[in-house]
Amino acid sequence: MAVAGLYRRILPSPPAIEFASCDGKRLFSEALQSGTMEGFFRLISYFQTQSEPAYCGLASLSVVLNTLAIDPGRKWKGPWRWFDESMLDCCEPLEKVKAEGITFGKVAWLAHCAGAKVEAYRANESNFEDFRKHVIKCTTSEDCHVIASYHRRPFQQTGTGHFSPIGGYHAGKDMALILDVARFKYPPHWVPLSLLWDAINTVDDATGLLRGYIMLISRLPMAPSLLYTLSCRDDNWVKVAKYLREDVPKLLRSETVNSVQALFSLLFRTLPASAADFIKWVVEVRRQEEGVSSLSPEERERLNLKDEVLCQVRGTRLFKLVKELLSDPAFGSLEERRRRRKKKKKKL
């Protein structure tokens, strides 16, 4: 009886060489001896298969972030802090990624938001020789990893755009090891580096821009979110974006704004009622919620940095100006103006 669905794909060889084949093992052994597989063992220790057909970007990023031992700063399940695809939703709602995938630029921004030091290059911002140098740099280190954004067609594989980490490099054959996160489809495989560059140097139809490669280099020297992290899952993103993109330019054309105070007064008076909900997550250490009796050195450093930044912000003229405007009884709070608007709508 026939079973519905697909069970893996046959890896087209050439141009690819399956990692577990005799030739693949030989390439691995030679590359290991030459020192261009330094990041492989850490990558493979945290490797995972993408949980959705369109989650290749999120899965690749989860693998590399966990490999670099970057603390997400929030819990995954139980008491454990761990990067999972489900946590990488601050730039794009997961339902949208599940349906459409994610673009190169958003994966790079996600990596930065998660706490990695990031260098991202589209194909038109780099060249093949630079790409090779970056691959060698990362495959000879445990603190640097490359995620490639490429099209499968040059490898004669089925599908279109894809993300996966590069697990190693063979200098003699000039080949890269792709740790394909779609393991249900293709196993890890070696490909000619020039062909991988051709696959990267393709246009993503979703953006009209060339694909590229992302280098994640160790971790940022400080916590990436000292004060607030904005959640873009909320509908208020759309409302506030519309206000900034469409309403503010009209307001500036219709009213005379000749000072910073006048500008902020105008902005605060016309903010949409949903602006109060724009900031959704406050990133800070909460002893009771985390259930810990003492702070780790990293958490203590984060709080100290937060206090320092807040102190500096409070000392600026801009902060004092905004504070004066918000404390003006004639101005009122966002919440008060929201109630006024509701009453006005009811009357209408």
CB neighbourhood size of 76 (10 A): 13
**Residue 36 · residue 171 · CB < 8 Å:** yes
Q: Is the preceding omega at residue 15 within 30 degrees of 0, hence cis? A: yes
**Distance in angstroms (rounded) separating the CA atoms of residues 105 and 84:** 19
Q: Tell me how far CA of residue 82 lies from CA of 4, 142, 181, 275, 289, in angstroms.
A: 35, 19, 18, 31, 17
* CA-based nearest residue to 63, from 100, 120, 114, 18: 114
Hey, what are 215's tokens? 């280098």
In the set 91, 134, 180, 189, the catalytic residue is 180
Q: Determine whether 56 is an active site residue.
A: yes
Enclosing H/E stretch for 113: helix 104-113
Q: Tell me how far CA of residue 161 lies from CA of 212, 215, 292, in angstroms.
A: 11, 18, 43
Give residues with Cβ within 8 angstroms of 14, minimum separation 6: none
Q: What is the pLDDT along the chain (348 residues), one digit of tens a residue?
A: 566 777 778 888 789 999 999 999 999 999 999 999 999 999 999 999 999 999 999 999 999 999 999 988 888 998 899 999 999 987 788 999 999 999 999 999 999 888 899 999 999 999 999 999 999 999 999 999 999 999 999 999 999 999 999 999 999 999 999 999 999 999 999 999 999 999 999 999 999 999 999 998 876 655 445 455 555 555 666 677 778 778 888 888 877 778 877 787 787 777 777 666 665 544 443 444 444 455 666 667 767 777 787 788 888 888 888 787 777 766 555 556 556 555 555 555
In the set 151, 162, 170, 189, the catalytic residue is 162
In the set 56, 91, 138, 144, the catalytic residue is 56
**Residue 178 · residue 148 · CB < 8 Å:** yes
Residue 217: φ, ψ to 5°: -115, 105
The strand ranges marked E within 160-227 are: 161-170, 175-178, 189-192, 203-204, 209-210, 212-219
Strand order in the sheet with 212-219: 17-18, 189-192, 175-178, 161-170, 144-151, 212-219, 116-122
